[in-house]
Amino acid sequence: MTIRNPLRDHGQRYRPRIACLKKAEKVLLEMQDLKTGVKSQPQRLVITTIPHAITGEDIISWLADRFQVDTQEARSFGSMLVALGYIYPLQDHKRLVIKPDASLYRFQTPYFWPTQQWPVEDTDYGECDGSRSHFISHPVTNTYTFPYTIKAIYLAKRNIRKKGILELHEQEHYNRLHKWMNHKWDFIVMQAKEQYRAAKERKKPDRVVFDCQERAYWVVHRPPPGTVSAMDYGLDRLIDPNADEAKTPDFYARIMIFTQQSIMRPRVKSSVSIGALVKYCATYNSHDPFLSKCLPSNPWLTDDVTYWTLNMPYVEMPTKMRVERWTFSFAELLSDPRGRNDFRLFLKKEFSGENLAFWESCEDLKWGEAATMSEKAEHIYKTFLARGAPRWINIDGKTMEITVKGLKHPHRYVLDAAQTHIYMLMKKDSYGRYQKSPVFKETVKKAICPEEHHFTDAQLEQNAKKRRPSLSPIILRQMEQEQRAKMAATVDITQLCRFTTPVPHLAVYSGITDFPSANASPSLPFLAHSPACPSPISVALDSTSASERRVEAGEGEGEGNPAAQAAAGGNVSKSRMALSLHRLLKRGCTPATMFASLSPKCHSAAGTSSRIQPISPDQPSQAPPRRIGNFFQIKVDIPPECRIYPIESEDEDEENRAASRGGVGAKEIICPWESLTPQNGTG
Amino acid sequence: MPLVNNKVGDDCTVGTDKALVDGKAQVDSLIKVVACYRHLASYVGGCTDSLQLRDELRQTREKALTLAVSICNHLTSHLRNKSLPEGQRKEMELLWVAFSSSLELLHVDMCKVFNISDIFSLANTDALVQTGLQGGGSEVAARALSLPDLNLAPNPTLSAGLESQERSTMEQEISQMDHMIDDMEMKVNVMRWMVEPHGPQYAEVLSSSDSASLALLSVDEEQPGHQPPCQRSHIHVLLLLFAVVLVAATLSVCIIFFT
């Protein structure tokens, strides 16, 4: 077996138009065999009899016998043959289906077979011999408009025979063709007349047969409005993928890149990959609507859309099958919107929702618009990655380094390493716990298992009549956006850690959460939960840089807590939290304004001073002012009081600088890609 | 001088008038032949396909080609004649459009026949599709060739050589047509959008006597599957009638007998 063009087509295998036609022809030739084919009977008309009529039930039983399939499938196959135009019904000629009763059909003459409509263009496809290649396809003769000429002749002929016989849509076609091919109209009318006269030369029964044949041909190729045509084959190929390509430098460059990538591809032993395939098939076998039953019923077969309504993306109660799919792999869970919601709920209870939020925001960055990319990247950094970020995620130092370096020149995939890390973290850790959690168990219990439908034929016809188009994708997208906006409107700041700046617009990534109530009461629970929320202190402890620890320690000392250096980050956080909350209570601000003012992007918070300040302006000594240079600092243009916890530089002489600067309450988180200017008090 | 000019003009117009009439007649006959060819082509591959049919096809094709060649020369020469008056030119262009459309039709039909005869070789008559046709295309061919009666010599027996010879001739003819069409377009520039037809949008109804075939079809349609019961009911009615007549006859015989 040779593989033609193994490199050049790059997976674009030759796809002939409706490849099933050739196979259908073979079947048809078998069917019409006098000895082994479908048995035929004469059709009795008023005046004459015409031979070679076959009944629907004979066709179906022959097909079932020949292919060893059940009656239903034979019936579908027979209907396909009729829809393609190889067999035509003698009664009820507009409905191209096989009826399993004594209704009559006849074989179509090869002249009207569907493969015959592409005589010239298809010369180079398939197993053709070179002799045909000299049939030139004329731009003049224009094989695309030619079928319309023939159709015009046909309609004119029918009109000649009996005026007013054309149906409405045919009438419209006729008028349109007349307008379009006006210059040929004389010819068309003359040709119609001549064809009509030539037909009169034939014997009566033959004339009837020919009329039937022609009518059937046009029903197949120009179906009446409201019917489905089997001849729809999608887009026409403009080029032949197997044709010879010009050998330009670009062509060779493409081949070189392709081969280099092929060399670099990781390899897997075939036993391993086959094993994976087998496992996949075994797992998904019962979930595949082709291979097993689809509960309640397959909408494509029964025209009943219950299956789709039950499996909408954000449905309240998922089906059992869907929930079972979530247990197959973590990717399945995340890719199903309902599953993701469930998982988010679980993580919320576990207070590690920021992982999923980060992952989602990375996805958004990867697949989003290019225009907003750098803002998104900046935002993600400020929200998740920066030291003291409101929803700080726990990734190791190396990854953080890579990410931050990449963020200087942000592109779509800059957060890939971090995203993968978080994904693996969730998969290895949270996913397992999720499957044992009460949230999941509840979902499983509530999942519905719909009853299978058993429709009778009459009901099936009813369903077919009631077919309606589904919701427009525009409406679906609007619904999705509304959903997202709803989710975004409720941010959960119980998830946020002490150095929190709850950001309303950040809520896109935060999932469904409760609006923060007054902070006073949750203070203690906050403190209790703070270990779950990785504070910068714990990061400092994780990280290898000594200076940071020192700085932290310095700040901790500054705050009056000498235990900063200890591993008990909780103490420090407790103290800081207490301090900040104390300040909050003192000032008695409303949460709303406070939170609003704490937004990193909030410029208008000039008047209100923030209540939660990790580092108070009273302790200027540990305000390490902004160091210029190769560092990732988020610059935020907000008044001093509103500044969030700064990012310290890893520089060794940070401390000194910090000491020297002094008096600056301005802490800024500056993004690495923004131009940095030395801090001053007002920022 | 004007007289002389007129005379020349008259001759000219008379000449071209005759040319027009000639051309029209030829184009009409080409259209007729093309229509007949189409009918014949619909027989190919069906159960009535035979050597005779192929022969008829060949003859029709040849006639069409000769006609086409002569029209081509005729029209090309006239249309390239710059001194042709405007009205005549329009007529010529109309003929040209009709001619080129007929050629396209013929080309398509020829290609189809070529493809089908590839699939259905006459050597294997079992494979021919049972289309329900009973008669051959002889009458149509006769019409095409304008012969009152088609008396063909009995054909020689089928041999492989004959078929391949047929095929190669067909190929040649098709390529000849290709070249002719190309040449036409090269030599004469007819702007199709400027051509205006004469005839009405709807052709007049030719005859109502042929509504018989339509009647056959419509009868078929209105009583789907009803044919056998219908005929059975006819028989029942007849039987009933017969029985009634019988009863009446016996009754009358009895009356006569007893009186």
Contacts of A358 (CB under 8 A, 6+ apart): A380, A384, A391, A393, A418, A419, A422, A509
- Chain A residue with the nearest C-alpha to that of B222: A91
Residue A153 has pLDDT above 50, yes or no: yes
Residue B169 has pLDDT above 80, yes or no: yes
Confidence of residue A464 (pLDDT cuts 50, 70, 90): confident
How far apart CA B165 and CA A592 sit, in angstroms, is 94
How far apart CA A90 and CA A104 sit, in angstroms, is 6
CB contact under 8 A, A43 and B120: no
Residue B11 has pLDDT above 60, yes or no: no
Percentage of chain A modeled with pLDDT above 70: 63
Chain A hits for B144, Cβ within 8 Å? 198
CB contact under 8 A, B46 and A178: no
A448, β-bridge pairs: A319
pLDDT 10s digits, A470-528? 778 898 888 888 887 887 776 554 444 444 444 444 444 444 444 443 343 444 444 44
Residue A632 has pLDDT above 70, yes or no: no
How far apart CA B116 and CA A605 sit, in angstroms, is 83
How far apart CA A611 and CA A669 sit, in angstroms, is 18
Q: Mutating which of B26, B220, B231 best tests the A interface, going by the most A Cβ atoms within 10 A?
A: B220
- pLDDT, residue A597, reads 43
Q: Mutating which of B37, B106, B131, B138 best tests the A interface, going by the most A Cβ atoms within 10 A?
A: B131
Residue A682 has pLDDT above 60, yes or no: no
CB contact under 8 A, A140 and B228: no
Distance from CA of A116 to the nearest CA of B (A): 6
The CA-based dihedral angle spanning residues A222, A223, A228, A232, taken in that order and rounded to the nearest 10 degrees: -10
- pLDDT, residue A236, reads 59
Q: Please give the mean pLDDT across all residues of chain A.
A: 72
- Chain A residue with the nearest C-alpha to that of B218: A91
Distance from CA of B31 to the nearest CA of A (A): 6
Amino acid found at A33: D
Distance from CA of A132 to the nearest CA of B (A): 8
pLDDT 10s digits, B88-123? 888 888 888 888 888 888 988 888 888 888 888 777
| Winning range, highest mean pLDDT, from A46-60, A62-76, A288-302 | A62-76
CB contact under 8 A, B195 and A183: yes
How far apart CA B133 and CA A216 sit, in angstroms, is 15
- pLDDT, residue A49, reads 83
- pLDDT, residue A675, reads 47
Q: In this complex, which of B97, B195, B203 lies closest to A156 when CB atoms are compared?
A: B203
Distance from CA of A459 to the nearest CA of B (A): 23
Q: In this complex, which of A134, A188, A199 lies closest to B39 when CB atoms are compared?
A: A199
Strands A87-89 and A104-107: antiparallel
Q: In this complex, which of A119, A190, A205 lies closest to B108 when CB atoms are compared?
A: A119
Confidence of residue A238 (pLDDT cuts 50, 70, 90): low
What ipTM goes with this model? 0.75
Question: What is the gyration radius of the CA atoms in chain B, in angstroms?
Answer: 29
Residue A435 has pLDDT above 80, yes or no: yes
pLDDT 10s digits, B149-158? 655 555 555 5
- pLDDT, residue A332, reads 93
Which of A277-281, A572-576, A607-611, B70-74 is least confident?
A607-611
Contact B188, B77 (CB under 8 A): no
Residue A261 has pLDDT above 80, yes or no: yes
CB contact under 8 A, A44 and B214: no
Confidence of residue A586 (pLDDT cuts 50, 70, 90): low
Which of A144-158, A159-173, A530-544 is least confident?
A530-544
Chain A hits for B203, Cβ within 8 Å? 156, 159-160, 189, 192-193
- Chain B residue with the nearest C-alpha to that of A192: B35
CB contact under 8 A, A184 and B97: yes
State the average pLDDT over residues B50-58: 85
- pLDDT, residue A187, reads 87
CB contact under 8 A, B108 and A146: yes
Check residue A402 and report its DSSP letter.
H
Decide which of A654 and A127 is more confident. A654
- pLDDT, residue B58, reads 87
Contact A664, A620 (CB under 8 A): yes
CB contact under 8 A, B197 and A131: no
Q: Mutating which of A135, A158, A170, A175 best tests the B interface, going by the most B Cβ atoms within 10 A?
A: A135
CB contact under 8 A, B227 and A51: no
How far apart CA A297 and CA A302 sit, in angstroms, is 7
pLDDT 10s digits, A436-451? 999 999 999 999 998 8
Q: In this complex, which of A34, A93, A134 lies closest to B175 when CB atoms are compared?
A: A134
- pLDDT, residue B124, reads 74
Please report the DSSP string for A489-547 in residue order.
HS---TTS-TT----GGGGGGT-S-PPP--STTTHHHHHHHGGGS--HHHHHHHS--HH
Residue A32 has pLDDT above 60, yes or no: yes
Q: Where are the alpha helices (DSSP H) in A317-453?
A: 320-326, 330-335, 337-350, 353-367, 373-380, 397-406, 416-425, 431-436, 438-446
Contact A334, A347 (CB under 8 A): no
pLDDT 10s digits, A326-380? 999 999 999 999 999 999 999 999 888 899 999 999 999 999 888 989 898 999 9
State the average pLDDT over residues A173-184: 85
- Chain B residue with the nearest C-alpha to that of A56: B225
Residue A320 has pLDDT above 50, yes or no: yes
CB contact under 8 A, A206 and B133: yes
State the average pLDDT over residues B59-80: 87
Q: Mutating which of B134, B177, B196 best tests the A interface, going by the most A Cβ atoms within 10 A?
A: B134
Chain A hits for B91, Cβ within 8 Å? none
Q: Mutating which of A28, A115, A183 best tests the B interface, going by the most B Cβ atoms within 10 A?
A: A183
- pLDDT, residue A516, reads 40
Contact A663, A625 (CB under 8 A): no
- Chain A residue with the nearest C-alpha to that of B124: A33
Confidence of residue A31 (pLDDT cuts 50, 70, 90): confident
Q: In this complex, which of B120, B143, B203 lies closest to A110 when CB atoms are compared?
A: B120
Chain B hits for A134, Cβ within 8 Å? 171, 175, 178
- Chain B residue with the nearest C-alpha to that of A30: B127
CB contact under 8 A, B198 and A162: no
Distance from CA of A26 to the nearest CA of B (A): 10
Decide which of A549 and A324 is more confident. A324
Chain A hits for B171, Cβ within 8 Å? 131, 134
Contacts of A93-97 with CB under 8 Å at 24 or more apart are A93/A212, A93/A215, A93/A216, A93/A219, A93/B221, A94/A219, A94/A224, A94/A227, A96/A219, A96/A220, A96/A227, A96/A230
Q: In this complex, which of A45, A103, A193 lies closest to B216 when CB atoms are compared?
A: A45
- pLDDT, residue B174, reads 83
CB contact under 8 A, A29 and B203: no
User: Which is it for the CA torsion A280, A286, A289, A295, positive or negative?
Assistant: negative
Chain A hits for B201, Cβ within 8 Å? 175, 178, 185
Decide which of A553 and A303 is more confident. A303
Q: Mutating which of A54, A112, A174, A186 best tests the B interface, going by the most B Cβ atoms within 10 A?
A: A186
Distance from CA of B82 to the nearest CA of A (A): 22
Q: Mutating which of A111, A131, A159 best tests the B interface, going by the most B Cβ atoms within 10 A?
A: A111
Q: In this complex, which of B98, B139, B228 lies closest to A202 when CB atoms are compared?
A: B139
Decide which of A91 and A589 is more confident. A91
Chain A hits for B192, Cβ within 8 Å? 183
Decide which of A408 and A527 is more confident. A408
Residue A301 has pLDDT above 50, yes or no: yes
Q: In this complex, which of B31, B196, B198 lies closest to A194 when CB atoms are compared?
A: B31
Distance from CA of A85 to the nearest CA of B (A): 13
Chain B hits for A150, Cβ within 8 Å? 105
Confidence of residue A593 (pLDDT cuts 50, 70, 90): very low
Decide which of B122 and B246 is more confident. B246
